[in-house]
A = this chain, B = another copy of it.
Amino acid sequence: MAFGEFDLIQTYFTQRWHTRDDAEVGIGDDGAILTPAEGSQLIVATDTMVAGVHFDAQTPARAIGHKVAAVNLSDLAAMGAEPAWLSLALTLPQLDHDWLTHFSQGLREICEYYNCQLIGGDTTQGPLTVTVTAQGFVPQGQALRRDGAKPGDWIYVSGTLGDAGLALAAQQHRAHISDNHYHRVLERLYFPSPRVALGQSLREIASSAIDISDGLAADLGHILKASQVGARIDVDELPMSLALTESLTADEAIDYALSSGDDYELCFTVPESRRGVFDTLVARHSAKPTCIGRVTNEAGRLKLERDGETWQAPSTRLGYEHFS
């Protein structure tokens, strides 16, 4: 008897995985049977990673397992949601036990860390592609959206920007950085930390939020468009790691912080009236947010300033378009 789909699921995706009481049935029936938290709304996000596009042959399988969950949990974080359940669609060229061992380990670890249960999915044969749909909860009416920013709100980002982009550039020999820096930024590219706790604590505080997957300029642009507002950013305030500032010129570093993707930090806006509560609250968070600018009433316009002057990017890429 060949090693079939059922053996594969049994071996790699059910034993010793984290379970939750609200999943009456997870893997093993036609669908999962789940009990949503009372008084809550459900947040659902889907992200796909394709071999040769979102990762390459040298990407460790454990990183792929981690990241495909992390990018979805980052979407939930940007909505202020508490993660609960993941579905996995895994398309594999062939049965590679070593790859499956490490992939499932990466996915299992992040599920456990964030109290998520893998509740189902599909395994198929074909070109390596991984899709996760993640679900979580917010109390009724408290989800963070893109369309609530108002002129005068303060703009924040969590953590540091540009690290994952620098890792990719170094890997592709487009940037030269020290081994020590490379090690740190590669960890950010491979094992991003979704800002789950921060997102939840922004409920009833932030007027809008988004996660930075395509680059700050592009993703803040989505907030501006949805909210019909503009923004003024002081590029000197952009939070950067030593890896960025020590490896690049000042202008290059700003460009990375503005336009390279895959950092999975949160960008959000806070009204003046909520700023005191916010300052008290964020002191607890490790990915301490930095104020980088302010929302304006110039709909759709993103003004980049440095020392009070307009800052011009050396080669502004301004985000990643998938079918350009």
Which of these, B2, B4, B209, B323, contacts A125 with CB under 8 Å?
A: B323
Q: Does A153 contact B (CB under 8 A)?
A: no
Is there contact, CB below 8 Å, between B8 and A79? Answer: no
Is there contact, CB below 8 Å, between B4 and A48? Answer: no
**Chain A count of residues within 8 A CB distance of the other chain:** 72
Is there contact, CB below 8 Å, between A44 and B85? Answer: yes
Which of these, B89, B127, B211, contacts A30 with CB under 8 Å?
A: B211
Is there contact, CB below 8 Å, between A50 and B324? Answer: no
Is there contact, CB below 8 Å, between A75 and B31? Answer: yes
Is there contact, CB below 8 Å, between A53 and B89? Answer: no
Of the candidate stretches A116-124, A229-237, A242-250, A288-296, the one touching chain B is: A116-124
Is there contact, CB below 8 Å, between A124 and B53? Answer: yes
Q: Which residue of B lies closest to A5 (CB)?
A: B322
CB distance from A209 to the nearest CB of B (A): 8
Say whether, besides A131-B122, A322-B5, A41 and B33 are in contact (CB < 8 Å).
yes
Number of copies: 2
Considering residues A89, A119, A122, A143, which has the most beta carbons from chain B within 10 angstroms of its beta carbon? A122
Which of these, B3, B87, B88, B322, contacts A323 with CB under 8 Å?
A: B3
Of the candidate stretches A21-29, A59-67, A173-181, A274-282, the one touching chain B is: A21-29
Say whether, besides A29-B79, A131-B122, A143-B33, A24 and B41 are in contact (CB < 8 Å).
yes
Is there contact, CB below 8 Å, between A5 and B48? Answer: no
A246-263 to B contact mask, C-beta < 8 Å, 1/0: 000000000000000000
Q: Does A314 contact B (CB under 8 A)?
A: no
Which of these, B8, B32, B147, B226, contacts A43 with CB under 8 Å?
A: B32
Contact residues of A between 141 and 183, Cβ < 8 Å to B: 143, 145-147
The docked-state distance in angstroms from the alpha carbon of A75 to that of B34 is: 15
Q: Does A91 contact B (CB under 8 A)?
A: yes
The docked-state distance in angstroms from the alpha carbon of A75 to that of B32 is: 10
Q: Does A14 contact B (CB under 8 A)?
A: no
Q: Does A126 contact B (CB under 8 A)?
A: yes
Say whether, besides A41-B33, A81-B31, A126 and B126 are in contact (CB < 8 Å).
no
